[in-house]
Amino acid sequence: MRIDFNEIREYTIDCQNCGEGTMAVRMFSSPEAKVVPTRIHPGGSIGPHKQVASVDVNYVLSGTGVAICDGVEEELHEGICHICPKDSEHSIKNTGDTDLVMLTVVAYK
């Protein structure tokens, strides 16, 4: 399967999961998974939320940030992959001066 994200509209989300600031996303969704190129703008965050039905895999393409998964804080930067298992709780915050750019895959089990 080929997904051309150039053909998928980018939209802005304010305060994702009661986080701060804004982020921009393009989303491909199927019954098995979502694939989401994500840009969390400087100062923005995805608020704490529980992975009830899925595993979140966040691969950092550029920028810096932190992820907190079940109370454990992990630094994020280019080349880091943050995985939040099903039934875990996590949040992600951009701590840098540029967008935190990630490719997020939400896999349903």
Q: Which residues lie closer than 8 Å to 71 by C-beta, 6 or more apart? A: none
pLDDT at 47: 94
pLDDT at 15: 83
pLDDT at 75: 98
- Rounded CA gap, 47 and 62, in Å? 20
- What integer is the mean pLDDT of 87-102? 97
What are the chain's domains? Answer: 8-108 (2.60.120.10)
Question: How confident is the model over 34-93, as pLDDT tens digits?
Answer: 999 999 999 999 999 988 889 999 999 999 999 999 999 999 999 999 999 999 999 999
Token pair 């694939």: residue: 35
pLDDT at 19: 92
pLDDT at 52: 85
Q: Read off the tokens for 97.
A: 């001066």
